[in-house]
Amino acid sequence: MTSKWRQLLPQMLIMLVLYFVGINALRLAGVEGFVPSVLVALVVAFGYPRAVRSLGREPEVWKR
């Protein structure tokens, strides 16, 4: 169990940082609202794992 968390925690933190960077980029561009925030969340939630897998850098837990 601990090994899984050690593998997943860095990935979760990176996704969290990417989300906040995306939200702040939208705010700087003058775009605010619920729908854009959800779109950024979906792009990060589905895009980041796909990108990491395509680069071959996914943690062992994701390979199962």
Reported as a single tens digit per residue, the pLDDT across 8-26 is: 899 999 999 999 999 999 9
CA 28/CA 31 separation, integer angstroms: 7
Average pLDDT over residues 36-60: 94
Query: How far apart, in Å, do the first and last CA atoms of the chain sit?
Result: 15
Handedness of CA 11, 16, 20, 26 (dihedral sign): positive
Q: Which DSSP letter does residue 33 get?
A: S
pTM: 0.85
Domain extent listing, the chain: 2-63
Q: pLDDT value at position 10?
A: 93
